[in-house]
Structures are given as structure tokens and as C-alpha cells.
Amino acid sequence: MGKQHQELSQEHIAFIQAQKLFFVGTAMDRGRVSVSPKGMDSLIVLGGNRIAWLNVTGSGNETATHIQANPRMTVMFCAFEGKPLVLRLYGSAKVYHRSDRQWDDLISAFKPLPGARQIFDVAVDLVQSSCGMSVPNFEYIGERELLNDWATNKGEEGIRQYWAQNNQLNIDGQPSHIIAKSNCSTSSSPLPKPGVGR
């Protein structure tokens, strides 16, 4: 049976820190709902009602686009080994880009990741735990280094060009503002047409 909590307990925090994978759900008032898997040791707990996670460059930019329009975010963790548990964190998120002062305040708390593009700072207003008994057991083998290798090979300028070409619009054609908010030298790059470079 599900239980609701006003903040993360030490047991919850230990569980989160042991996970290799988490899921993020966001949505604007209209348009598609995004559910995105995250890993790479990119999430930190900053208190009983605050977490943050470092977002790296990928093919889409849904989460940042959504949060700028509607700050609601749900973060979910599942136990894939050991005692079953599903832990959901509900709250409001702020997105920080490289040009934001808060980026400088937070970035040193994370393990360096090539291609890092945003930090999401989440104020948690509800924690819900549930049994997770239907979640299958999986064995953790190791991290995939493909994305890190790709970003490293791209280099800083290549990553910025990728943002300009692929990350300026979400799948509903809404702007992410990533170029302006990241102090990119490609700030004059026009927005791609909807359906291109999402």
C-alpha cells in the first residue's frame, strides 16, 4: 500500500543514492507528456525536500522546454534488486543553464560529465513510496560510456552546434531557448522549422 511523506527520510535518501537509474516526468499545459530515463550518477540530494540533477546533451530537449512553461516534475526510482520499492518525488523544478548564477553555485556538486547542458533544481513537496512488487529483478552490469564518448569527441564547439541544430525546439515545436540561455557563440542561429532538430 502506498504511503505519503512530507519529506525524504534517511532511508529514502540511502535508497536514492544506491540507484543507477531514475525517471523524470514533465508536461506543459498542452502537448505531449515526457517520461525520460536518467542515469550516469547525475542526481544529488540537497535536503529532505530538495534534489538536483545534471542533464547532459541528448537528441531531444523536452524536460527543459516543459519546465520553463510549467514547473511540475515527478521523479521516480524503482528497486530492480533487493527489497521491492517504488519511490516518487513530486514537486516544482527550476532549470539552470550555463549562463545562470545558480549553475556556478551547483555544478561543483556533480561528477563532471561531458556535454552537460542544464541543472534541474527540484523543490519536493510530496514523497510517495509504494510496494514495487511487480517490478522485475535486473542485474546491474555497468554503465554505457557511449554518450560520454560521443560528447567528448564532439568537443565544446561541436556540442553547441548540436544544440543549435537539434535542441532548440521540442517535439511540439515549442522553443527551449537553449542558445540564448547558454551564452552560445551560435546565438544568431535561427530556430529550425517545427519537425526538424527536436
Structural domains of the chain sorted by starting position, each given as residue range(s) with its CATH number in brackets: 3-132+142-181 (2.30.110.10)
Give the phi and the psi of residue 124 in degrees, each rounded to 5: -90, 125
pTM surpassing 0.85? Answer: yes
Tell me the C-alpha distance between 183 and 125, whole Å: 32
C-alpha cell at 41: 550518477
Give yes or no for residue 191 having a pLDDT over 60. no
Q: How far is CA 79 from CA 17, 41, 49, 130, in A?
A: 12, 16, 21, 11
pLDDT digits (tens, 9 = 90+) for 130-141: 999 999 999 999
Do residues 15 and 79 make contact, with C-beta atoms less than 8 angstroms apart? yes
Give the single-character DSSP code of 34: E
pLDDT digits (tens, 9 = 90+) for 112-135: 999 999 999 999 999 999 999 999
pLDDT digits (tens, 9 = 90+) for 135-190: 999 999 999 999 999 999 999 999 999 999 999 999 999 999 999 999 754 433 34
